[in-house]
Each structure stands twice: as C-alpha cells, then as structure tokens.
C-alpha cells in the first residue's frame, strides 16, 4: 500500500517544487538573533555543510530577546529552581507556583481577570473553540485569519461564517444572520501575520455590543509589541476589557521559545481548566519557558527602550523602501510584506537575497492565497541602523534584477 501512497506524495511534492510552493527548511547553525549562520540549502547548489552568515529579517523576534545571554541566564535560573520538567498534566501534579505566577502576569499585561497556559497558540485556539461552542452557536471569522483559527473553528461543531477582511459592513450582515443562535463570537487576529495590518477592534467591539456577540482576538504578533505597555492590540485600540478572549504566545516577542496562553474572565478560565481537552491532556508548559517568560514580562516593565527601538527601526525601513520604489503598505507593524504576486518570483528573489547576505523567505500558497505571493520582512529591535540600510540596498539591487522596481 505504501508504494501507491509514495507515488501520490512524489507527484504532489514534484508539483510543489515546480510551481514554487515547496517549502525548504533552512538549518540554522547558530543561536537566533539579528545575525545568524545558516546552512546553505541544496537548492542553491551548496556543497555539503556549507554555511553562510546572514542578517536575519524573517524572525518573529520583534524585541530582539531571543538568543540573548539575558534570557539564557533567566532560563538557567528557572530550571535550577523548578527542575527540568514535570512529567505531568496540570491537574495531576503539573502545576507549580511559577505557572500560577505567569498566568497572573499575563492577565495583568493583557488586561483580563485570568489566563490559562497552553503549549502553543495553535493549541490555545483549538482548546477554546472546541470547548465553548457547539451546534447551537455561530463563529464569525475574518477571511484572512491565521490557519490556527481556521482549523480550530473547523474542529468545533458551531456554524461557521466568514466575513470579508476587516469589512465591518459584511461583519454586521453576518451578525444579523446569526441572531437566533445561542452564542455567537467574532474571531479575528489582532495583527494579521502575512500583511501586518491591524484589526479595527473598537468597531468590532461596538458591533459585538450591538448584536450581543463575544469577541476573540489572536494576538500572537502583538503581545509585548503593541500598546503603550505591550498589552497587545486591545490596549493599542483602547478596548482592553471589552475583548472576551485573547490568545497569545511567548514564542515571538516575549523570548521566542514557545508556549502560549488564553487570557479571559475568571469563570471562562476556570471552565477551560476543567473542560479544554488541549489543556487537560497536554503536559505542563516546561519550567524553562515558564520561568523565562515570567522574567521577560517583568523585565519589559522597566525597559520600554526595546519597543521604542523596534518602532524606530520599523519606521526607517518602511520609509527607505518606499523611497526606493517599493510598494509598501501603511500598516503600523514590524511585519512588512513586499508583494510580488508570482510564487516562483517570490521564492527565487528570496534566494537571491540569501546570496546577498539577507535572510528572508518567500511566502506562497497555501500560506497565502494563490496569486498573492510575497516576501515578508520582519523588523527587530536588535537590528542596527546599518542593518536596515544594508537590507534596503540589497532589496533594491535584487528588486531591479527581478523587475519589481
């Protein structure tokens, strides 16, 4: 049977390589950071184990904390105090003081009553929608929501409706269609991961109030980044306390190692701890991530310079790219997509930038819709002004060769 299965897989993979949608994993031979050492992939005719130093412009390392000695020390201290792991789920013997302290710190950061820890934001999303919403309910989701939201919604038994991207008129139409449902919830990203645009949360919350709907926000790309204190898009949009569920991760701005949370009201958090299968049947978040994430949240309270540097770098990159002829959106986030359309062009242009010492990735279907391939640039607080200018210079020279500008 596997022979037949293999033929199908080989055919599908060959087609993906041909049309530019095949995803080749690059292997890092260094810690994460503004400059990394990457093994040159076979597709670029590399000899065995050949590696290259590159400026990294494609990590979710927004505050530049990942790979730093500061976090290495915090991690070592957490493991020394709490041990390596717990070999248990939370409700048996897998909850330590540090887990409860982190949940309290997350709730304070995001502006909710409580928070529940998960192994990843994908699991947090799955754990939420499966637990709360059934056949009598409706979930109304933005068409460009992250794959984890889409899959989580599909795994629930609720009616699923999709509204046009950040189109409040279409959202209101969908809300009217679900007026007879027991529960209805609006599901949106806070920051859309492929475009860097921000959900209009005030308008969404106003519609939710008007039609008695709940509001869910996946804030993975905003926690620690957006808002005066890093509380995410609800803080940035002035609706902290009006959003019913906020999921987020420690695996991006807050250190990058992994782990996630659902921040919500006390009763909802208590219900998740008792009924969420993704929580109940998963090991406790490991002590290194838990302790280090708690340290990061506390550390950033007295170090706003990380966010300040991130926004200065973002502003500089966007201004220089526009000046050099690139079409750059006005989105106010370190995610800066360079739209190319053609899948193969996106992949090949990223390879050319690799050769020039700039590490970026071309994104194509199914990560983004067909015909909307792009190179997604992500700015970090760790970047220097020189790094930004070098990236723009290389983008400009390579862009001209590919007829982009």
The catalytic residue positions are 193, 221, 252
Residues 6+ apart with CB under 8 A from 265: 112, 113, 114, 244
Residues 6+ apart with CB under 8 A from 39: 26, 27, 28, 29, 46, 49, 50, 51
> Which among 257, 266, 265 has a CA at the least distance from the CA of 294?
257
Rounded CA-CA distance 85/302 in Å is 30
Strand order across the beta sheet in which 27-28 lies: 27-28, 35-39, 51-56, 358-359
- What is the DSSP secondary structure assignment for residue 364, as one 8-state letter? -
Angle at the Cα of 246 from the Cα atoms of 240 and 250, rounded to 5 degrees:
110
Identify the bridge partners of residue 159 per DSSP, sorted by sequence position: 138
Structure tokens at 77: 């201290």
Structure tokens at 375: 């190179």
245-277 b/e with 16+ CB inside 10 Å = b? bbbbbbbbbbbbbbbbbbbbeeebbeebbeebe
């Amino acid at each position: 049977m596997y022979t037949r299965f293999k033929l199908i897989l080989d055919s599908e993979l060959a087609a993906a390589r041909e049309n530019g949608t095949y995803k080749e994993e690059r292997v890092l031979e260094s810690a994460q950071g503004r400059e990394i050492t990457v093994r040159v992939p076979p597709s670029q005719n590399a000899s065995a184990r050949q590696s290259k130093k590159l400026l990294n412009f494609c990590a979710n390392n927004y505050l530049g904390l990942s790979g730093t000695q500061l976090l290495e020390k915090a991690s070592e201290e957490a493991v020394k105090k709490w041990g390596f792991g717990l070999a248990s789920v939370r409700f048996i013997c897998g909850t330590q003081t540090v887990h409860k302290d982190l949940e309290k710190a997350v709730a304070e950061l995001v502006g909710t009553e409580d928070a529940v820890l998960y192994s990843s934001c994908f699991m947090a999303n799955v754990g939420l929608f499966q637990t709360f919403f059934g056949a009598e309910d409706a979930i109304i989701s933005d068409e460009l929501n992250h794959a984890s939201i889409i899959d989580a919604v599909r795994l629930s038994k609720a009616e699923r409706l999709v509204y046009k991207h950040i189109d409040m008129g279409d959202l209101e139409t969908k809300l009217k269609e679900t007026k007879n449902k027991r529960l209805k919830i609006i599901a949106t990203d806070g920051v859309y991961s492929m475009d860097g645009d921000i959900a209009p949360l005030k308008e969404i919350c106003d519609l939710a109030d008007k039609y008695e709907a709940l509001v869910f926000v996946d804030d993975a790309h905003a926690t620690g980044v957006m808002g005066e204190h890093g509380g995410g898009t609800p803080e940035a949009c002035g609706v902290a306390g009006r959003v019913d569920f906020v999921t987020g991760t420690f695996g991006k701005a807050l250190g990058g190692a992994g782990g996630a949370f659902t921040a919500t009201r006390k009763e909802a958090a208590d219900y998740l701890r008792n009924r969420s299968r993704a929580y109940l049947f998963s090991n406790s978040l490991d002590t290194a991530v838990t302790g280090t994430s708690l340290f990061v949240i506390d550390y950033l309270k007295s170090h706003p310079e990380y966010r300040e540097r991130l926004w200065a770098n973002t502003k500089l990159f966007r201004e220089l790219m526009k000046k050099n002829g690139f079409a750059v959106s006005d989105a106010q986030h370190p995610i800066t997509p360079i739209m190319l359309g053609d899948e193969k062009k996106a992949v090949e242009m990223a390879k050319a930038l690799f050769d020039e010492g700039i590490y970026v990735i071309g994104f194509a279907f199914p990560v983004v819709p067909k015909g909307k391939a792009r190179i997604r640039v992500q700015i970090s607080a760790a970047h220097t002004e020189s790094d930004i200018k070098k990236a723009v210079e290389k983008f400009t020279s390579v862009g001209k060769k590919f007829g982009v500008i």
